[in-house]
Every structure is written in structure tokens, then in C-alpha cells.
Amino acid sequence: MKPANPQSPVDLYFMDARSKLIDIAAFMDRVERDQATDDFRYQAFLKALKELENSDRATAVLRSLSDPTSELIPAATTKAACGAPPPADS
Amino acid sequence: MRYIEPHAHMVSRTTDDYVAMVTAGCKAVCEPAFWAGFDRSSSKGFYDYFRQLTEYEPARAAKFHLPHFSWLCINPKESEDIALANEVIDLIPQFLDKPNVLGIGEIGLNKNSRNEMTILERHVDLAATHKQLILVHTPHLEDKLKGTRLIVDLIKSDSRIDPSRVLIDHVEEHTVKYVMDAGMWGGITLYPESKATAPRAIDILETYGADRLWMNSACDWGVSVPLAVPYAAMEMRRRGYDDDIIDQVFYRSPVAFLRQSPNFQIDQTKP
């Protein structure tokens, strides 16, 4: 599916992406200032950032932040998801 | 424009939202059964909820000239209590002949647990036995990839289920291909903080086509936007799409899936 009158994606989305990139930079500075870099979610975030160096980035980032296992868990002890797979011993 | 809102939890919304949706061109709203934000204490709470979805909410929507349809189930967030879930599933057949019921949904998995899978299997059997459409909720965030695979594999293994009568909702870039390859439909949910944004949703359509994909707001009691679907249409206009493709994506495609249920009746001659 393609538009009849395609617009430049850079024209449309550069400013939005620029803003989000600065937000990410500020988030990382904030976590470092607060010495929270050991949090498993932040470590997963750093790992996912490396996926930006290749193609098909959105898929790769989402996969990087996904539970890599394939088996059902014995029981759900919470309803919530936290955005990154928790350490195996948690 | 005209559009279908294929997934909205209107019992959580105000009449202002109905006014805004109809003003924006909404021609029908479809409401899956879901988690109330707290665990219900007994199956009687679900009996009342199913009456709300099949009697009271359609009447409330009708005051705004908006056809309202519903899906019935116990949400996977409450499937860990097997005894309660089985009681609730036993209640569902008596509601299936209500005129606004489209099928069984939104069923699925939440944390990918054994009990959730047991109850998902019962829901799929219920849909197969009663020849109902299926609407599937896929898990959140880190649980989505694994859960989507488990759900699609389970449904594919049941020869009674026609995959073209199954919609797997909340797909994202890392799960949509698995759903499309299985011959099922996919739903893209437009949320401000999780799931997909409008630009990402359009990227997915540009990659996989619009034949078996729809967009929805899944608006509920949480952070969500009841007008997310027409806002996404606006985003498509910014990218240069014409009215015909926008009508295909936001009206004709969802109608094509939903009218597989004989209960999905709307006047398509109205502009």
C-alpha cells in the first residue's frame, strides 16, 4: 500500500523523531545522575539501543525487549508487564 | 469520513465520547468483554456485565444513533482462577443469541501461564461449538511475542476454526507477520504510551497491506484516546493517501471481517 501523493518521511517526521531522541538522551542522563543504571529495565534498554545500528529496527527493538522463552509459566503472580523481561532469578 | 471503531470499552467512557465519535464519522462500535481494572468477586458480576454489554450499552449508544456490538468472554487477566473462569464460560451460551453479539472475545493470554492457556482452550472450543467469530487479546510488552505465538499455534491446531474468522488484536511490528502468515486478521491498537502510534500503524499497513488489518483505539478506563482511529486517518492524509484508501482501511476492511457474523448489520448506504 502506497499513497497517491507520497510525502517525504523526513519532512513529516524529523522534528518528532528529533524531539524523541533528545528525550531518550535526557532519560539516560537522568538515570545516570540518579545512579539507577543497574536496573534490569535500563540494561535491557541499553541492549535494545544497539538494534538501531541495523535494519528492520522497530522489529529488532521489540524483539530485544521480549521474553525469549517459549514455555508456559506455572502460574501468573501478577497481571502487569514491565516492558522488559525480568531476570530469571526474580 | 466514515469509520468503524472495532474495539472500544464504552462502558468505561462518557456520553461526550459517543458524541465525539459520531461527529467524527463513526458508523459502528464493537465492544469486547474485558477486565474491569479489578477482579470481580464472583460469576454473578460477569452475568451483570454481560447484560450490560448486550442490553444497556447498546441502548445507551442508540441514543447517539451509533450501532453497538459486543463480544463475550472472561478476560485472560482473570483466567488464573480456573473455577471462576469455568463458571463464567458456562454463562456465555445463554447470551450468544442476543442480537448485538459478534462472537467470543477478547480471549487470549496475559502472562502466558498454564491456567490462562487452559481457559483459552475452553474459549476456543466454545467458539467452535457455537460457530462464533473469535477476537483475541495478545499480551502486553515483554509478554506479547511469546504469547502471540502460543495463541496462534493453539488456534491453528483446531481444525474446526477457519483462520479468516479470527482476529488477533494488538499486533506490533514483531508479531504481525506471524498472524498474517497464519491467515488470520490483525488489529493494531493506537495507544499514547504502549502498543502502536499512528505513524507506526501506517508503516505496518504499508508493509503488509490493508486486506486483513484494522486499527482500533481500545479506549477504556486507562490512558487511551477514543478518537485515535480518525486521528490515524488524518495521519494517512498527511502522508498523501486519498479518500478511497482511507475508506478501505477504516470502513470497508473492518466491515469485511465483522459481517462474517450475521449479527453485524449496519446501513451501508448512509454516507
CA-based nearest residue in chain B for residue A11: B239
CA-based nearest residue in chain A for residue B82: A75
pLDDT value at A36 more than 80? yes
DSSP state of B70: E
pLDDT digits (tens, 9 = 90+) for B56-108: 999 999 999 999 999 999 999 999 999 999 999 999 999 999 999 999 999 99
CATH class of B3-258: alpha beta
The C-alpha of B175 sits at a distance from chain A's nearest C-alpha, in angstroms, of 8
Domain ranges within chain B, ordered by starting residue: 3-258
pLDDT digits (tens, 9 = 90+) for B117-169: 999 999 999 999 999 999 999 999 999 999 999 999 999 999 999 999 999 99
B146/A70 CB distance under 8 A: yes
Grade residue B270 by pLDDT with cuts at 50, 70 and 90: low
pLDDT value at B271 more than 80? no
> Longest C-alpha distance within chain B, in Å?
52
**ipTM tops 0.90:** yes
The C-alpha of B95 sits at a distance from chain A's nearest C-alpha, in angstroms, of 28
pLDDT digits (tens, 9 = 90+) for B155-194: 999 999 999 999 999 999 999 999 999 999 999 999 988 8
Q: What is the pLDDT of residue B267?
A: 85
Distance CA B120, CA B166 (A): 14
Asked if B45 and B66 count as a contact pair (C-beta separation under 8 A), the reply is no
B245 and chain A in contact, CB less than 8 A = yes
Stretch B50-59: mean pLDDT: 98
Chain A residues closer than 8 Å to B253 by CB: none
A62/B149 CB distance under 8 A: no
The C-alpha of B117 sits at a distance from chain A's nearest C-alpha, in angstroms, of 8
B192 and chain A in contact, CB less than 8 A = no
Q: What is the pLDDT of residue B252?
A: 97
CB pairs under 8 A between A and B: 100
Best CA proximity match to B57, nearest among B108, B8, B107, B6 = B8
Q: What is the pLDDT of residue B110?
A: 97
Calculate what percentage of chain B has a pLDDT beyond 90.
97
Total number of residues shown for chain B: 271
B173 and chain A in contact, CB less than 8 A = yes
Calculate what percentage of chain B has a pLDDT beyond 70.
99
pLDDT value at A67 more than 90? yes
Determine the 3-state secondary structure of B242 from DSSP: coil
pLDDT digits (tens, 9 = 90+) for A19-28: 999 999 999 9
CA-based nearest residue in chain B for residue A60: B174
Distance CA B271, CA B265 (A): 16
Distance CA B119, CA B80 (A): 8
pLDDT value at A89 more than 70? no
Total number of residues shown for chain A: 90
Q: What is the separation of C-alpha A14 from the centre of its chain, rounded to a whole number of angstroms? A: 19
pLDDT digits (tens, 9 = 90+) for B209-247: 999 999 999 999 999 999 999 999 999 999 999 999 999
pLDDT value at A90 more than 70? no
A81 and chain B in contact, CB less than 8 A = yes
* Residues of A (38-67) whose Cβ lies below 8 Å from B: 58-59, 62-63, 65-67
From the number of C-beta atoms within 10 Å of its C-beta (0-12, 13-18, 19+), residue B79 rates as buried
| Mean of pLDDT over chain B | 97
Domain ranges within chain A, ordered by starting residue: 37-64
- CB atoms inside a 10 Å sphere around CB B271: 6
Place of cell 482476529: B167
